[in-house]
Structure 1
Amino acid sequence: MTVSTSTPRDGVAVVTVDHPPVNALPVRGWYDLAEALTAAGRDQAVRAVVLAARGRGFNAGVDIKEMQRTEGHEALIGANRGCAAAFAAVYECEVPVVAAVHGHCLGGGIGLVGNADAIVASEDATFGLPELDRGALGAATHLSRMLPPHLMRTLYYTGRTLTARELHRHGAVWELAESADTLPAAALGLAEEIAGKDGYLLRLAKEALNGIDPVDVRRSYRYEQGFTFEANLSGVADRHRNSFVDARAAQGG
């Protein structure tokens, strides 16, 4: 698991996740990401942050294999708290966060980008919440920040995905990049434009915009997570997670 931070442009920090094969993060990974985002935002030389990933996709959510091989509820609790910490770190980062998304953005990935200030995505990017198929609930809080309510609900119930172009049409994606290769330049371009503003005013603006949001994203997401625990206690969550792990093993994944 690797979370790295670089500063390729004046005033811009890039926090990059690299956890092969699909950036499905273990418990420690969510906390590492939260710490990196928080540290980047606290750096007074930084005026904008780009959240990016290497590999086959942006983020595939939690590491279900880790959860299923861990006895008891420790991994489930860790994943829930780790996700909450990482999502909050995006939202509460002291400066604007631009999410640079390529490939799959699923489950926890939606929690990250839904709390970002702006999204730039490559044409190959797809977004969705397969939570019901994984025995969980969550991140509707964040998907609802990206889409109209009826579209969000339909995606949530069906587990379908939308393309970056479809999200662009609905106003959630700021800019489309032709490919994953051109995505970094597009994301850095927007971040650099933001970073051209006064750093003190940007920090005030971020706090002010969060303060007028109609939904408390921390409380809303934690409310959702309570139903994940209920699904787990009922036994239905384990059945779905085991089915997922077995299917992946049969595919050699």
Structure 2
Amino acid sequence: MHEEIIEKLRKENELLRQTHTEADLYYAKMKELEIYQAQLVKLLTEIEEKSQKVIVLFEGRDAAGKGSLIGSISQYLNPKHCRSVALGKPTDEERSQWYFQKYIKHFPRGGELVLFDRSWYNRAMVEPVFGFCTQNEYELFLDTVTNFEDSFTKHGTRLIKIYLSVSKEIQNERFEKRRTDPLRQWKLSEIDMQAQAMWNEFTQKKRIMLERTHTPESPWHIIRSNDKHKARIEAMKLILRELDFQVEDSTVDLKADENILVSVEAEILG
């Protein structure tokens, strides 16, 4: 009896220790995140004052962490000068229009940052894999998208293209959480259910997209997102660097983590 009580207390203490450690780790991550979120607040003020127009688009497989990353970036930003855009299925009217038209109407005005949760690059991966566009529409997109981007960047809109790269194993773990967690079930869609089975098809389309649309004027930035926290930090540092933000605090390091931010070539080969 005495031994059973001791064992019970041991288990309770171990659980308490683990919980305390997890809470400490979570708090430490949030504090680290806030350092870069504070710099983004200053950056947005600079964008507003200089009347800059900035687009950051986020692509990647389902469950790569796009939505939560955008939420972390925009968490403390003034909604008058920062918007997130996540477009649904095209309407009949939009299907009859020039493909890029529905995206253009969401572009930033002067002094605004717009974050696209998926973008016109739907036509490079999701649409051809699931048959939502024709082969001719797919090829036309690949032939014209970089010219489209050149046209608006040359007129003063800054563009940062981020691809979040998640492994098949981690994607499956995140899907499983969506299936079993009532708070996450709304995230699970029919397309999600097929994503694992069509992994190779997405990989092929991703490779073609990166090969055809990664240019010196409009490059892709690949961020490994198996670790969501590290991906969030790396994305924030990347945005600050790309927009030439001068950090006044010498303790804030914007140097890239090469284990998280990798080259397009590495992503294609991987």
> TM-score scaled by structure 2?
0.29
More helix by share: 2
More strand by share: 1
Larger radius of gyration: 2
